[in-house]
Amino acid sequence: MNSNNRQFNISRRNSLKFVAGAIGTGILAARAGAELAAPEPAIAQNNVTPQQALQMLIDGNQRFVNNMRQNPNQTLARVTQVAPSQAPFAAILGCADSRFPAEILFDRGVGDIFVCRVAGNVTTPEEKGSLEFGTLVLGAKVLVVIGHENCGAVKAAIEGGELPGQIGSLTQAIKPAVESSKNQPGDKVANAVKANVRLQASRLKDSPVISGLIQEGKLIVKGGYYDLDTAAVEFFDIP
């Protein structure tokens, strides 16, 4: 009887230890799962200064170029988090070229950048209105117009000639930049691309909404040139 009782007590203690261990493991697993499923902090980073917002783009592009991406705000939790509202820290007018996926090249994620893309990164009334919304209403602190190496729309504007459909409306919007850069030394396409960036950015700055934000110190407007070979973005000032 005593031997049987001892065996029963030992088995009972082992069972309790097993149950306690299982409960503890379950609690740890639940906590870990909760941490993984928790929303990422901060809906967006537009509570920064315009210069800080620009630096975030610069840093993100450098991470991409150096193959050190952090891939922030790219989870399903982030998607759920920003579903009710958005507050991007930056706005971009870029080319529709498939080789310029802005969020990837700046190592950002969902809800971070308000992006308008159109061939030749031209400023149409619709693009201007969209970017007025992105800056005034949504609060983006930096607005960047970005052209890229060997832009097809700029090349077409340089070559001239008749184009089908509405394609010609794009080249017409770019032609003043081509004219202003044609006597510059160096690569004529690169020169025209950068001149076009300045032209389209100046058209955005003509907006009373955007110019008002600049005067209040709430927004800066920059130009950018994207190198297709290196993925690096060169930023420059817009007069």
Backbone angles phi, psi at 53, to 5 degrees: -65, -45
Mean pLDDT confidence for 38-46:
52
Fold held by 50-237: Beta-carbonic Anhydrase; Chain A (3.40.1050)
pTM, full prediction: 0.81
Q: Tell me: pLDDT of 102 over 70.
A: yes
Instruction: Tell whether the model's pLDDT for residue 105 goes beyond 60.
Output: yes
In contact, 222 and 236? CB cutoff 8 Å: yes
Q: What sign has the CA pseudo-torsion 231, 192, 123, 211?
A: positive
DSSP for 130-143, please give it.
Answer: HHHIIIIIT--SEE
Distance CA 178, CA 102 (A): 25
Find residue 222's DSSP bridge partners: 144, 237
Mean pLDDT on 65-73: 97
DSSP for residue 113: E
In this predicted structure, the answer to whether residue 191 has a pLDDT above a threshold of 70 is: yes
Mean pLDDT of the 216-238 span: 98
Longest dimension (CA), the chain: 108
Mean pLDDT over all residues of the chain? 87
Q: What is the mean pLDDT of residues 186-211?
A: 98
91 within 8 A of 135, measured Cβ to Cβ:
yes
Using one digit for the tens of pLDDT, what is the confidence trace for 113-151? 999 999 999 999 999 999 999 999 999 999 999 999 999
Encoding tokens for residue 34? 């909760």
Section 141-163 average pLDDT: 97
| Number of residues that make up the chain | 239
pLDDT at residue 17 greater than cutoff 70: no
Q: Please tell me the distance from the alpha carbon of residue 31 to that of residue 1, in angstroms, as a whole number.
A: 45
pLDDT confidence tier of residue 46, bands split at 50, 70 and 90: confident
Asked whether residue 177 carries a pLDDT value surpassing 50, the answer given is yes
Residues 184, 192, 123, 236, CA torsion sign: negative
Least Cα distance to 91 among 128, 41, 40 occurs for 128
Predicted local confidence at residue 45, as pLDDT: 66
Among 87, 93, 102, which Cα is nearest to 127's?
A: 93
Lowest mean pLDDT among 42-56, 71-85, 102-116, 118-132: 42-56
pLDDT value of position 44:
55
